[in-house]
């Protein structure tokens, strides 16, 4: 019926050129369409209810349910299922997500200590942030990060806050269901940076010697998809490079890296900050791919909800960092050379190509599911093989995050990853 009324309205529009008449006619048509659409929706719901009832073999009693009753019933069903014991598969998914979040929290905390908002960081100190107490700030690093974007300290602090909340929530949720959350505390054995701003505590991850895979930069500008066999190279190579200041001798905290970046100390701290800018995006694109692969396998609706909802924030982070990292390879900042490692940050807009242009930060539509289907703008990869738990552990390991970690750490990490990747929906 709704379609009929709309069609009738269009016919009138073409038949009658009187503006006043058109307005009146449109109004009548709109009201009539909305009323009919509501009636139509109710009728459709009834048909859905009938069909569901028929399928469930509960007869005509179900067919009498209104749409609101049906929704309420489903709400109750979801609530009751959200207090029961989780399947082994769902536990494995959440435990791996917790592993990833604890790792993320550790590395982001290091970034926040040195480059987040705080007494020495950029912008006003945020006394309300619960982790304000441990943010010292490294002035040179913060200034260099602010060459990528003036708001970098705030973004770093907020990303850290998000990861801490992800880890705490997942652990608490697992506990609330009688499950044991992941404990990585015994593996906090790695040294801190000696630079001004860093707390002298033991860490789970190292940010001092990274190989930052930049293939995501090309992948998201390409119409091809790794899940359909495509392979990508980054636009340049970041290898054996620190992403945080190592000590005050290497990068004096009083250094002022003003653009154009000149002089050994300014170049060094800027190269380190630029590396961080790309590392932020590398980490978060990993999260953006991991969560969909985990979500596909979830059985309990609440577990699915958790994975989809946290995953969305990883994607949000990635989009932000993609933009900020790209500022290191566009003017006026492009061209910085690290005086220690020789790493060069090229100008990727000279020449700007489809796969390098720095402001092409939104995903290009790509092959998805089948090359015979139209290209679609999606997160990729989302296959277990390319974006799953094992792929994540491997990528983080190759990144250099776990340099110095014990064999027991890798064993536990791979155990959790294999368990998560092996989950099949419904078990
Ligand atoms: Fe996270
Ligand atoms: Fe994240």
Rounded CA gap, 310 and 299, in Å? 17
Residue 96 in tokens:
């791996």
pLDDT higher at 71 or 392: 392
Decide: 71 and 42 in contact? Cβ < 8 Å.
Answer: no
Rounded CA gap, 85 and 260, in Å? 59
- Cis bond before residue 351 (omega within 30° of 0): yes
Average pLDDT over residues 323-337: 98
H or E, element range at 315: helix 301-326
SS3 319: helix
SS3 212: strand
> Does the pLDDT at position 11 exceed 70?
no
Buried b (16+ CB within 10 A) or exposed e, 237-264: ebeebbbbbbebeebbbebebeeebeee
Q: Whose CA is closest to 176, among 82, 105, 306, 102?
A: 82
Give residue 160 CA to ligand 2 midpoint distance, Å. Answer: 8
Give residue 108 CA to ligand 2 midpoint distance, Å. Answer: 9
Bridge partner list, 366: 376
> Does the pLDDT at position 133 exceed 80?
no
What pTM, to 2 d.p., does this model score?
0.80
What mean pLDDT, rounded, does the chain reach? 83
DSSP notation for 336-380: -B-TTT--B---TBTTB-TTT-TT--SPPPB-BSBTTSPPB---S
Rounded CA gap, 32 and 1, in Å? 10
Buried b (16+ CB within 10 A) or exposed e, 400-414: bbbeebeeebeebbe
Decide: 330 and 358 in contact? Cβ < 8 Å.
Answer: yes
Give residue 180 CA to ligand 2 midpoint distance, Å. Answer: 22
Average pLDDT over residues 75-92: 70
SS3 349: strand
Q: Note the ligand closest to the C-alpha atom of 288.
A: 2
Give residue 39 CA to ligand 2 midpoint distance, Å. Answer: 45
Query: What count of Cα atoms within 13 Å lies in the side-chain half-sphere of residue 275?
Result: 30
Average pLDDT over residues 289-301: 97
Average pLDDT over residues 63-89: 54
Give per-residue pLDDT as tens, 402-414.
999 999 999 999 9
Give residue 290 CA to ligand 2 midpoint distance, Å. Answer: 10
Decide: 327 and 149 in contact? Cβ < 8 Å.
Answer: yes
Give residue 288 CA to ligand 1 midpoint distance, Å. Answer: 9
Give per-residue pLDDT as tens, 359-396.
999 999 999 999 999 999 999 999 999 999 999 999 99
Rounded CA gap, 356 and 172, in Å? 42
Give residue 120 CA to ligand 2 midpoint distance, Å. Answer: 25
Give residue 308 CA to ligand 1 midpoint distance, Å. Answer: 12
Give residue 288 CA to ligand 2 midpoint distance, Å. Answer: 8
Q: Collect all residues with Cβ–Cβ distance below 8 Å to 295 and sequence separation of at least 6.
A: 304, 307, 308, 311
DSSP notation for 37-92: HHHHHHHHHHHHHHHHHHHHT-THHHHT--HHHHHHHHHHHHHHHTTSPPPHHHHH
């Amino acid at each position: 019926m709704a379609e009929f009324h709309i069609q009738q309205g269009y016919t009138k529009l073409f038949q009658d050129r009187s503006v006043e008449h058109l307005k009146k006619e449109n109004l009548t048509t709109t009201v009539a369409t909305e009323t009919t659409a509501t009636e139509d929706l109710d009728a459709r719901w009834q048909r859905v209810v009938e069909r569901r009832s028929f399928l469930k073999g509960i007869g005509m009693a179900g067919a009498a349910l209104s749409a609101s009753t049906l929704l309420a019933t489903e709400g109750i069903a979801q609530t009751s299922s959200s207090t029961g014991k989780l399947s082994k598969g769902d536990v494995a998914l959440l435990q791996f997500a917790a592993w990833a979040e604890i790792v993320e929290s550790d590395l982001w905390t290091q970034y926040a200590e040195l480059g987040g908002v705080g007494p020495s960081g950029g912008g006003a100190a945020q006394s309300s942030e619960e982790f304000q107490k441990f943010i010292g700030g490294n002035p040179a690093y913060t200034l260099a990060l602010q060459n990528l974007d003036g708001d970098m300290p705030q973004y770093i602090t907020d990303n850290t806050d998000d990861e801490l909340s992800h880890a705490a929530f997942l652990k608490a949720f697992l506990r609330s269901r009688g499950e044991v959350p992941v404990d990585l505390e015994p593996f906090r054995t790695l040294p801190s940076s000696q630079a001004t701003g860093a707390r002298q505590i033991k860490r789970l991850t190292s940010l001092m010697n990274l190989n930052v895979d930049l293939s995501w930069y090309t992948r998201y500008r390409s119409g091809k998809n790794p899940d359909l066999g495509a392979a990508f190279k980054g636009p340049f190579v970041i290898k054996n490079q620190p992403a945080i200041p190592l000590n005050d001798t290497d990068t004096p905290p009083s250094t002022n890296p003003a653009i154009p970046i000149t002089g050994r100390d300014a170049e060094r701290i800027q190269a380190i900050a630029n590396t961080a800018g790309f590392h932020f995006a590398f980490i978060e694109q990993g999260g953006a791919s991991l969560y969909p692969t985990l979500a596909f396998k979830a059985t309990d609706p609440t577990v699915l909800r958790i994975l989809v909802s946290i995953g969305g924030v990883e994607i949000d982070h990635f989009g932000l960092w993609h933009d900020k990292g790209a500022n290191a390879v566009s003017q006026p900042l492009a061209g910085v050379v690290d005086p220690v490692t020789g790493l060069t940050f090229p100008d990727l807009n000279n020449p700007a190509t489809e796969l390098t242009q720095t402001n092409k930060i939104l995903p290009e539509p790509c092959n998805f599911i089948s090359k015979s289907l139209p290209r679609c703008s999606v997160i990729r990869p989302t296959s277990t093989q390319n974006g799953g738990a094992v792929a994540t552990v491997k990528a983080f390991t190759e990144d250099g995050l776990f340099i110095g970690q014990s064999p027991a750490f890798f064993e536990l990490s791979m155990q959790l990853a294999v368990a998560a990747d092996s989950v099949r929906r419904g078990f």
